[in-house]
Amino acid sequence: MPLRRKTSHLLLHTQVPARVTESFILSGYRSPDYSFLECLLSAFQPTNETGNFWTHFLAVFVFALSFLELFITRESTPSFSDPFFYPLWNYVIGVLGLLLASSMAHLFNSMSLLVREICFFVDYGTISAYTVGSSLAYFYYIHPQTAAAHPPGNFSTDPWLLRQPLCGVGCFDTLYIPSACLVAVICTLACCCTRRRWRRYRYVIRTFVFLLPFTVASAPIFYRLYAGGPLNGTLAPFFYRHCFWLLASAVFNVSKIPERFSPGKFDIWGHSHQWFHCCTFMSILDELRMIKGEIRWLSAVTDQAAELPLAAATLCSTYGVMFGVQCCIGGIISAFAVRASGDHSERAVDVNQRKCS
């Protein structure tokens, strides 16, 4: 049967197009003409994409359980229409979009070379959208203006700390979210371009390109840590762990360890991209714990709630921003997909002409 033949017969790196191969991965490649059903079945077979799929697909459920714990521990379940949680929902949308798009890209990229390109264009776009979701959560829950606010009865009296909201925060309010959105769009463009050029350095470029949105998004945290004071005790440790896992993921993605030292041995299990997925998800979990800690802390603030930036959270400033970014990213992905389709058609014509001649 054709289905059985294809799913049981994996290829060497010399038997697939060069654009499909990965550095130091010598075997375990699927034929680049799988059907939708064959791709689904390949999730349960030992290919070099199986671990890539499961490390982010199972992460969806782990993240969901960790997220739901926030509501289990609260005295009352908040409404979806509560503006306090608008930034959180956008963050969750960003994370789930990233994990699902990544896992689906690794599962279905063998349907054709064109589908492969589109899958990873979408993958890059959802990573960028996730950074915007993180920025919204950071802005509304870890805003510099909250550095002077503490649970009732324990507000900061440090004169320097109390005057920080008057010094530069207005500029921060104006530029932070637009900057995060602009950087997300630039990162999507840059990563999509690496599928057409700079292929020798594509992993380095993709890794360091996404250090920029991390730096921009983390501005409120850097401010809070710099301002000091008796702040929420969970912010610093979870943020440092978040940074550690991001650094580890970058090292795996760029170095291609361990397969670099033993090509062919880690083709199916244990290669760098699987460790990259695990480390990025661990960073997301610590980021979620950090955000949950800030939400619990802010929930205890009652008298000064009107002075906190959460009072400005609206559908437009949260969902509207995310929707606008998604539209921009969708436009970029569509443009690259159209161009990739044209290139694919030209290559098919050239192949047919060679056969005829």
Each residue's pLDDT tens digit in the chain (357 positions)? 444 444 458 999 999 998 899 999 999 999 999 999 999 999 999 999 999 999 999 999 999 999 988 877 665 455 678 888 899 999 999 999 999 999 999 999 999 999 999 999 999 999 999 999 999 999 998 876 655 444 444 444 343 333 344 345 567 778 999 999 999 999 999 999 988 887 777 888 888 877 888 999 999 898 888 765 546 678 889 999 999 999 999 999 999 999 999 999 999 999 999 999 999 999 999 999 999 988 888 777 544 544 555 557 889 999 999 999 999 999 999 999 999 998 777 665 454 545 555
Q: What pTM, to 2 d.p., does this model score?
A: 0.87
Does the annotation list 9 as a binding residue?
Answer: no
Query: What are phi and psi for residue 259, nearest 5 degrees?
Result: -65, -20
> What are the distances in angstroms from CA 196 to CA 114, 187, 192, 328?
12, 15, 8, 20
Q: Which stretches within 109-168 are classed as H helix?
A: 113-141, 159-162
> What are the distances in angstroms from CA 342 to CA 112, 161, 338, 345?
14, 57, 6, 5
Express the helix, strand and coil content of the chain in percent, nearest 5 each.
75, 0, 25
Does the annotation list 273 as a binding residue?
Answer: yes
Does the annotation list 106 as a binding residue?
Answer: yes
Place of tokens 């008796």: 230
The answer to whether the bond into 220 is cis (omega within 30° of 0) is no
Q: Which stretches within 194-269 are classed as H helix?
A: 202-209, 211-217, 219-227, 235-255
Counted residue by residue, the chain has a size of 357
Instruction: Label residue 350 exposed, middle or buried (CB < 10 Å: 0-12, 13-18, 19+).
Output: exposed
Furthest-apart CA atoms within the chain: distance in Å = 85
Residue type at 333? I
191-196 LR contacts (CB < 8 Å, sep 24+): 191/124, 191/127, 192/121, 192/124, 192/332, 192/333, 192/336, 195/117, 195/120, 195/121, 195/336, 195/340, 196/339
